[in-house]
Structure 1
Amino acid sequence: MILFLTILVLVLAGLLVFLVYTLLDINQQLSYIVKNDTNAELVSTSKIFFIRQLLNLNNQLIQKNKKIHQKHWNNEKQFNHSLSNLSHDLKTPLTVSSGYVQLLLKKQNDPNTYELLKKTETGLSTIENYLSYLMEYTLIHEKKLQMEFELVNVTQLLQEEAFVYYENFLAQAIELSFDLEDNLLLISDLTILKRIIQNLLGNILKHGQTRAHFTGKKEANCILLTVKNDSAQPIDENENLLNRFVTNDRSRQNKSTGLGLNIIKELIKLLDGDIELVTERSSFQINLSIPIRSDTLSYVSAD
């Protein structure tokens, strides 16, 4: 009798150990599936009915969640694509309308009509600015779903984009200067980097005066990009300027939306980078840190 009970206890102890081991293994698998983007499902060599049932129900739940996630991803991608198309479709007639208004302004001699056309031009310009911000946020959401990486020369890209804005800086008498290391290379999304640089230049044109200076260098595993410009208005605080709809232009005289810096912040986050603002009473500095992907060197060597 004692022998029988001893054997029974040992069998039950062995079964308990096996169950604990099996559950720990399932827990590890489940933890991996939750933390990673994978098509894996739960597996076990156990033949115990309730273990098999547990695996089966969990796998059904995993499959159901994958289908929901895929459907949500497809819907979001389609929505962003439709929004992007709509934004472009709206931008074309706006640009044409602005062109017609400018032509009418040149040929208009009546002061009252001229003033009315000028207000129309200002309104169209404001709508176009908001539409541009809408397109930027659409891009951000699209890139969250899928990014396209390639080798980018940041030095060359910055100089090319600045050249596009040359006439604008000349018209506003802002002196633009550069201190960039040659061939600052990294693997990144070209579209995102372009938008970041364009928004930096646009921010200078909207809020800067007199001079602006860009510096760029490689430090450790990052490219550090800094732009410092004289500010057209005194800067009271910078803690919230990166937040959406926050602007230093309290009077809204330049129709600032407070979205430009927030867009730069969101775009730099997509690249796993950092942004820092350093302000003085009459100057404004933006520091960007963009990580260099580990495969950049091998990409350059292969190229």
Structure 2
Amino acid sequence: MALALIYLLIVLNDADALTKQLRFINQHDTNGQLNVKTRNHHVVTLAREVDQLLARHRDVRRQSIQTKNQLDLAIHNISHDLRTPLTVASGYAQLLVSDETLPATTHEQATRLDRNLETLTKHLDLLLLYNRLIENRITISPKRLNVSKQLQQACLNVYDALQQHHINVTLAIAPNVTWQLDEEAMNRIFQNILGNILDHGYQTAEIQLTQDQTGVTLTVTNGLQTPIKDADCLIDKFYTEDLSHQKQNAGLGLYIISELTHLQHGEMTISTTHEQFKISIQFTK
């Protein structure tokens, strides 16, 4: 009985030592292996199997990082390679659209081409911005910003497009809301939010900006023609749902909003029902 108790204590001591080593390995980026001092066959076998599992995990992680780096590099190269020819093609398309001597059919084709190139340009801009984000090349320069004025101007810029999409927008923008924010980043946030309404909104939308003693809150809701399938994935990069049944998008808009918000120490949340999508951005003290 005494020998069995001693054996049990030795095994428990070995298990405790392995647990401490595993905890250290889990908490640190290390290639270390388990150091087994016992001669107990079962403990030695367990440690060997765990080491093999750790090695396999490191290989998978290494391959994952390598694949991600290759993908990021491909995105970087493709984005920049497309920029110049796309700009040239857009210029030619705009010249054709402005040519009043073209036959009606040709002019219609040129107009369609111009719209498609404009959409492609927007997607490329998102891709380039995404590339800057993953390469940590976004510089945030906070200043005292009149958020109300900038948001109103952003809404005015897309007013005609909202009318064409038959989306009735209600604005509830408190006057002279100011906060320490980056003007360029906020402009992109507003553009992406409004672009999301244009791409996926249905019939109605509401944009509300408020400020109290704790901070600034922007809340945007819009109607949905089709319920969102997986709301938890909406902020993931390259995830997209064709909610309007009209357009394909890059799947980067909400991801970029989230990243730019976090870079300015803000928080973004989204929520959905079968008929409504809601995005909320908060900047607090």
Same-fold call, TM cutoff 0.5: yes
- Aligned 8 A contact 1:105 1:118 in 2: no
Aligned to 1:27: none
**AA in 2 matched with 1:206:** D
Matched-pair contact (CA < 8 Å) for 1:174–1:209: yes
2:186 matched residue in structure 1: 193
Instruction: Compute the displacement of 1:181 (Å).
Output: 2.3
Aligned mate of 1:148, from 131, 141, 144: 141
| Cα distance change of structure 1 residues 162 and 226 upon mapping to structure 2, 3 Å threshold | same
Say whether the 8 Å CA contact 2:199–2:244 is kept in structure 1.
no
- 183 and 106 in structure 1: CA distance in 2 versus 1, 3 angstrom threshold: farther
Q: 1:106 to 1:264 in 2, by over 3 A?
A: farther
1:233 to 194, 218, 226: 226
CA contact (8 A) 2:171 2:207 kept: yes
Deviations 1:154-190 (A, max 9, x none): 1111101111111111111211112222221111111
Offset of 1:282 from its aligned partner? 1.5
Q: 2:278 aligns with which of 274, 281, 285?
A: 285
* 1:9-35 deviation per Cα after TM superposition (whole angstroms, max 9, x unaligned): xxxxxxxxxxxxxxxxxxxxxxxxxxx
**Aligned twin of 1:127:** 120
Unpaired stretches in structure 2, ≥5 consecutive residues: 1-76
Which of residues 258, 265, 269 in structure 2 aligns to 1:276? 269
Whether the aligned pair in 2 keeps the contact of 1:155 and 1:180 (CA below 8 Å) is yes
> One-letter code of the match for 2:94?
G
TM-score normalised by structure 2 residue count:
0.63
1:93 equivalent in alignment to 2:79:
no
How far does residue 288 in structure 1 lie from its aligned partner after superposition?
0.7
Question: Aligned pair 1:213/2:213, yes or no?
Answer: no
Alignment-mate amino acid for residue 150 of structure 1: K
Distance in 2, Cα, partners of 1:251 & 1:225: 24
RMSD: 3.2
Please give the secondary structure, in 2, of the residue aligned with 1:256: coil
Of residues 156-165 and 220-229 in structure 1, the stretch that sits farther from structure 2 once superposed is 220-229
Aligned mate of 1:102, from 89, 94, 97: 97
Describe the SS at the equivalent of 1:287.
Answer: strand
**Kept after mapping to 1: 8 A contact 2:221/2:276:** yes
**Alpha-carbon offset, residue 233 of structure 1:** 2.4
Counterpart CA distance in 1 for 2:210 and 2:124 is 34
Deviation for aligned residue 1:137: 2.1
| CA spacing shift, 1:118–1:105, aligned 2, 3 Å | farther
- The aligned amino acid for 1:200 is I
Task: Please say if 1:266 is aligned against 2:266.
Answer: no
Between the two proteins, what is the percent identity of the paired residues?
26
Q: Is residue 229–residue 285 contact of structure 1 (8 Å, CA) maintained in 2?
A: yes
- Matched residue SS, 1:107: coil
- Structure whose alpha-carbon radius of gyration is higher: 1
Question: Alpha-carbon deviation of 1:236?
Answer: 2.2
The question of whether the paired residues in 2 share the 8 Å contact of 1:87 and 1:135 is answered with no
SS at match of 1:288: strand
- Specify whether residues 198 and 84 from structure 1 end up closer, same or farther in structure 2 by C-alpha distance, changes over 3 A only: same
TM-score by length of 1: 0.60
Unaligned 5+ segments in structure 1 are: 1-81, 293-303
**Paired residue for 1:46?**
none
Runs of 4+ off more than 6 Å = 82-88
- Alpha-carbon distance between aligned partners in 2 of 1:131 and 1:105, rounded to the nearest angstrom: 30
Q: Would you say how many aligned residue pairs link Structure 1 and Structure 2?
A: 210
Q: Is the 8 A contact 2:226 2:243 kept in 1?
A: no
**2:156 matched residue in structure 1:** 163
CA deviation vs aligned residue, 1:73-96 (integer Å, no higher than 9, x gap):
xxxxxxxxx999877655642431
